[in-house]
């Protein structure tokens, strides 16, 4: 098989690139290791915990024993299905803060500041909220403001206001800071993945093709990438290969192909095409804790948790695309600053009106609620390396979670701050006992023990093929996503982020695909925006 452009991965960035190249009349072939995204477990938002844990849809990776978490191995899933991780994620839509992208420029990602990326967010969006200069209204990606019908969603936002924090009408607009309603990639009660937004319409038009296979190695003619060795044979690229295979699999594929830290490649008997020491380094993520509180009224999602309750939820969704199955459950959120002197939010909350784990296991106490909370800008860094030169071997993943002392201080603050919010008058009609960590867990040492045992990944891996200037030895791609040191090869997905953005990564990953497509096509990027973000006037003196 052959095409002008071969894209490895049909996920958030890969689908967007494929659609935009196809729209421009290019011959595009997308390689995807996973199968169809058809079926209720993927498409019903309320069923999100199922595909996340199914080998049918997911690369079910786990980390090496994490040294600062008592040797725990943390699960690290990535989508292995049409639509990639956009087909198995929590559907939360967060662009990140404007200052994140200005930080990217400082890190060497010239042309990726907030003014540069905002037009791409606007181009991709079809938002159902109030019209805004900051938002997009006619893009392919449907984004819905969540309705917050359960009274606990409102209690969370009101409690934040009572604690003195900001409230925001649109955290993806001018003002991220504050408590408000989440946006989600849900449309008419169903998951709206990158595959639905971009890839499937492109396939229907005939310029883009999709092939099910695993990419094993990139083939080079000298320094030029000419195609991909796959599980079903060689695929030739007449113009370029674009790797959009995730923060784990993109660096793995580069290293298997001879692009990476030379000594590490030689250890595995791999011929070095380009010595790029940054490949696989700079791995970042968000960690979070679930702070759980019992609810004294039977109003939580726990009322659906019996077999009969789940059947009714599923039936209503199948018949009408409505009810509890039409929501991901995360309808209220907050972005706040941890202390005075922090200029923009560095803590994120996801609020859920049930006390439950990601695997769908409910708390023994029954009715309850929880906030997922975590710091957004950890200083800890990890790496992705090779187990062996065998493409079938899983990548070796070590996040090095909690390796920086500030992480412990930040998480202790998150727990105490959540208790303060849950203690506000808005929760008085509903508040039972604290389920987790439990009211007896109070000292720094007790909190640290709880954190080490219970902290979980928010599944936001990035940074392993970071974008930067060509004279930066740790940069892997230049600001046009071209792999430094070779020709005919680009990487475009969350692996190129120099720093993790403030919030969930699906939206910035799709934006990366949108912007990369213009670079691939040789187009002048969209004109920069002159819109400015809101910065709290009290940021130097207060956390709220």
Taken as a whole, the chain contains a residue count of: 544
Inside any domain, residue 439: yes
Q: What is the CA radius of gyration of the chain?
A: 22
Quick check: is 325 in a domain? yes
pLDDT at 359: 66
Measured CA distances, 452 to 70, 350, 525 (Å): 7, 20, 44
10 is a domain residue: no
Can you tell me the distance from the alpha carbon of 301 to that of 481, in angstroms, rounded to the nearest whole number? 43
In a domain, 438, yes or no: yes
Tell me the whole-structure pTM to 2 decimals: 0.97
The set of residues, in sequence order, having a beta carbon less than 8 Å from that of 119 and lying 6+ positions away, is 526, 527, 528, 529
Edge-to-edge strand ranges of the sheet holding 125-127? 125-127, 141-145, 183-184
Max Cα distance, the chain (Å): 70
CA atoms within 13 A of residue 37's CA, in its CB half-sphere: 30
Residue 81, marked binder: yes
Backbone φ and ψ of 293, nearest 5°: -130, 135
Q: How far apart are CA 421 and CA 163, in angstroms?
A: 6
Q: The CATH number of the domain where 355 resides is what?
A: 3.30.410.40
For the chain, the straight-line distance linking the first and the last C-alpha, in angstroms and rounded, comes to 57
**DSSP, residue by residue, 1-15:** -EEEEEEE--SHHHH
Given CA atoms 438, 441, 444, 448 in this order, what sign does their dihedral have? Answer: negative
- How many domains is the chain partitioned into structurally? 1
CA–CA separation, 514 vs 158, rounded Å?
A: 37
Q: What is the pLDDT of residues 63-95, one digit of tens each?
A: 999 999 999 999 999 999 999 999 999 999 999
Q: What percent of the chain has pLDDT over 90?
A: 96
Residue 460 designated active-site: yes
Whether residue 487 lies inside any domain: the answer is no
The range of the structural domain enclosing residue 310 comes to 147-181+287-375+403-454
Q: CA–CA separation, 296 vs 429, rounded Å?
A: 8
pLDDT in tens, 473-491: 999 999 999 999 999 999 9
Residue 524 in any domain: the answer is: no
- In tens digits, what is the pLDDT along the chain, a chain of 544 residues? 999 999 999 999 999 999 999 999 999 999 999 999 999 999 999 999 999 989 999 999 999 999 999 999 999 999 999 999 999 999 999 999 999 999 999 999 999 999 999 999 999 999 999 889 999 999 999 999 999 999 999 999 999 999 999 999 999 999 999 999 999 999 999 999 999 999 999 999 998 999 999 999 999 999 999 999 999 999 999 999 999 999 999 999 999 999 999 999 999 999 999 999 999 999 999 999 999 999 999 999 999 988 899 999 999 999 999 999 999 999 999 999 999 999 999 999 999 999 987 666 777 779 999 999 999 999 999 999 999 999 999 999 999 999 999 999 999 999 999 999 999 999 999 999 999 999 999 999 999 999 999 999 999 999 999 999 999 999 999 999 999 999 999 999 999 999 999 999 999 999 999 999 999 999 999 999 999 999 999 999 999 9
Kindly provide the b/e burial profile for residues 3-40, where b requires at least 16 CB atoms within 10 angstroms of the residue's own CB: bebbbbbbbbbbbbbbbbbbbeebbbbbbbbbeebeee
Q: Are 302 and 354 in contact (CB under 8 A)?
A: yes
- Do 200 and 54 contact (CB within 8 A), yes or no? no
Active-site hit among 367, 372, 460, 519: 460
293-304 burial, b at 16+ Cβ within 10 Å, e below that, comes to bbbeeebbbbeb
pLDDT tens track for 419-469? 999 999 999 999 999 999 999 999 999 999 999 999 999 999 999 999 999
Domain membership flag for residue 168: yes
Residue 261: inside a domain? no
């Amino acid at each position: 098989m052959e095409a002008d452009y071969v894209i490895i991965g049909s996920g958030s960035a890969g689908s967007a690139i494929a659609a935009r190249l196809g729209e421009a009349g290019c011959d595009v072939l997308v390689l995807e290791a996973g199968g169809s995204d058809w079926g209720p477990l993927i498409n019903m938002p309320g069923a999100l915990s199922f595909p996340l844990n199914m080998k049918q849809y997911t690369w079910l990776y786990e980390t090496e024993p994490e040294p600062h978490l008592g040797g725990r191995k943390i699960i690290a899933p990535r989508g292995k299905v049409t639509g990639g991780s956009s087909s198995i994620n929590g559907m939360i839509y967060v662009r990140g803060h404007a200052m994140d992208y200005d930080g990217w420029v400082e890190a060497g990602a010239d042309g990726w500041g907030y003014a540069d990326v905002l037009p791409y967010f606007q181009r991709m969006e079809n938002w159902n909220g109030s019209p805004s200069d900051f938002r997009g209204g006619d893009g392919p990606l449907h984004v819905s403001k969540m309705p917050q019908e359960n009274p606990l969603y409102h209690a969370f936002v009101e409690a934040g206001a009572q604690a003195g924090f900001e409230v925001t009408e649109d955290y993806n607009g001018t003002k991220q800071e504050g408590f408000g309603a989440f946006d989600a990639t849900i449309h008419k009660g169903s998951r709206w993945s990158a595959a639905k937004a971009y890839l499937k319409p492109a396939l229907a038009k005939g310029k883009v093709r999709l092939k099910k296979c695993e990419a094993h190695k990139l083939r080079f003619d000298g320094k030029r990438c000419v195609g991909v060795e796959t599980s079903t044979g060689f695929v030739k690229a007449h113009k370029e290969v674009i790797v959009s295979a995730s923060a784990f699999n993109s660096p793995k594929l580069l290293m298997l192909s001879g692009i990476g830290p030379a000594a590490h490649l030689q250890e595995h008997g791999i011929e070095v095409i380009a010595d790029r020491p940054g490949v696989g380094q700079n791995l970042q993520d968000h960690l979070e804790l679930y702070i759980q509180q019992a609810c004294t009224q039977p109003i939580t999602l726990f009322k659906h948790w019996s077999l009969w309750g789940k059947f009714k939820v599923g039936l209503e969704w199948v018949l009408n695309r409505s009810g509890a199955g039409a929501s991901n459950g995360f309808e209220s959120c907050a972005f706040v600053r941890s202390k005075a002197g922090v200029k923009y939010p560095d803590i994120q909350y996801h609020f859920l009106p049930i006390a439950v784990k990601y695997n769908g296991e409910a708390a023994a106490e029954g009715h309850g609620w929880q906030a997922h909370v975590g710091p957004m800008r950890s200083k800890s860094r990890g790496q992705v390396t090779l187990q062996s030169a065998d493409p079938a071997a899983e990548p070796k993943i070590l996040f090095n979670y909690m390796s920086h002392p500030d992480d412990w201080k930040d998480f202790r603050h998150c727990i105490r701050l959540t208790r303060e919010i849950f203690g506000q008058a808005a929760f008085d009609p509903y508040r039972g006992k604290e389920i987790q960590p439990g009211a007896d867990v109070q000292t720094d040492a007790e909190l640290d023990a709880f954190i080490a045992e219970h902290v979980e990944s928010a599944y936001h891996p990035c940074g392993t093929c970071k974008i930067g200037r060509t004279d930066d030895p740790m940069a892997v791609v230049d600001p046009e996503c071209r792999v430094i040191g070779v020709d005919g090869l680009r990487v475009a997905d969350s692996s190129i982020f120099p720093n993790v953005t403030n919030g969930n990564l699906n939206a910035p990953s799709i934006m990366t695909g949108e912007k990369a497509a213009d670079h691939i096509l040789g187009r002048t990027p969209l004109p920069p925006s002159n819109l400015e973000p809101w910065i709290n006037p009290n940021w130097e003196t207060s956390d709220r």
